């Protein structure tokens, strides 16, 4: 997964049995990525780098994924609105930054 958007964006649903993470960058754009029908890679831990400048990123993940965020922001933020699973299938690590932008993760 490697997406970059400048003055544009995307709405995409990804279905895979082996999600391995990747990178999403937006500059004056946005990205909506639905991973709700995907399964995390076999090792159970993946990293997704998200960077937004004057833009936004929204992610939808399965309810059985644990999400951990390491994010820095300047007039922006990345919010984790997911519920914590009792028996997580795996962990999605979100790292990145936002400048006058941000994002949200839901399930």
pLDDT tens-digit map of 44-62: 999 999 999 999 999 999 9
Residue 77: its pLDDT value, please?
87
Spans of the chain, pLDDT less than 50: none
Predicted local distance difference test score (pLDDT) of residue 43? 85
Which of 11, 3, 4 lies closest to 58, judged by CA?
A: 11
């Amino acid at each position: 997964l490697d997406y970059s958007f400048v003055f544009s964006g995307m709405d995409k649903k990804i279905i895979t049995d082996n999600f391995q993470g990747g990178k999403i960058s937006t500059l004056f754009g946005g990205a909506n990525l639905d991973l709700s029908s995907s399964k995390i890679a076999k090792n159970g831990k993946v990293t997704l780098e998200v960077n937004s400048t004057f833009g936004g990123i929204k992610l939808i993940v399965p309810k059985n994924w644990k999400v951990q965020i390491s994010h820095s922001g300047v007039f922006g933020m990345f919010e984790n609105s997911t519920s914590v699973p009792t028996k997580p299938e795996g962990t999605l690590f979100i790292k990145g930054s936002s400048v006058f932008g941000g994002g949200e993760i839901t399930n």
